[in-house]
Structure 1
Amino acid sequence: MKTSIVRYRTHPQHAEENAALVGEVFRALAQARPAGLHYEALRAPDGVSFIHVVSVDETLPVHPLTSLPAFQAFVAGIRTRCAEPPAPLESMLLGRYAG
């Protein structure tokens, strides 16, 4: 699995819109239920900073997150919503526990 972490900060007036768009992505994922994907989105206590953690099976022919129309709608206006643009960080998963 390939894991990426993306951090960004929205303009205060766009934080709720951003959170709503993230919610739409999760509703689409709940319907599609794609295999080979682990996805988390977090909102920091400041209300304007967001962190997304994505792990995807690299052998899949189509990326199950970025191919979703709801995700495409989310990223379409991300630069306008952001005070600090998305900064992806490639990482390697060392372990995961789900209890």
Structure 2
Amino acid sequence: MQVMIRWKLRPDEVDRELELLRAVYEELASVQPDGVRYATFQLEDKVTFMSLVDLATGPELLQQLKVFQRYRTNLDDRCDEPPVMTFLHELGAYRFH
């Protein structure tokens, strides 16, 4: 399953977001769960973020991580525009994998 998630933070929440995301990626690097590819990008406006997620075994893998649970707990409260998930259907890729 491949998804894109896009959300827009309140400007005063950007530093907190970056801190929480660092913790998520530190945990992913430590645990190294199989079947997960995850990347987050901060867009040019500095308040919009986008994640690309490839979960071979489903979203449960991420949701089991305590640090991800902590990250996700108040995300909607930190946003001007809440996360929107879009399922992706790959048509082709060059050196993306």
TM-score normalised by the chain length of structure 2? 0.90
Q: By how many angstroms is 1:18 displaced?
A: 0.8
Structure 1 residues 36-91: Cα deviation after superposition (integer angstroms, max 9, x where no partner): 11100000121100001100113x6x722121111111110001100000011011
Rounded Cα–Cα distance in structure 1 between residues aligned with 2:90 and 2:24: 23
For 1:93 and 1:27, locate their aligned partners in 2 and report how far apart those are by CA, in whole Å.
Answer: 28
Q: Would you say 1:89 and 2:67 are equivalent positions?
A: no
- Structure 1 unmatched runs, 5+: none
**Greater helix proportion:** 2
Distance 2:45 2:90 in 1: 27
CA distance in 1: counterparts of 2:91 and 2:55, whole angstroms: 15
Counterparts in 2 of 1:35 and 1:78: CA distance versus 1, 3 Å: same
Matches within 5 A, 1:43-58: 43-58=42-57
The correspondence of residues 10-89 of structure 1 with structure 2, limited to 5 A, is: 10-58=9-57, 63-89=60-86
SS at match of 2:62: coil
Sequence identity percentage: 25
Unaligned runs of 5+ in 2: none
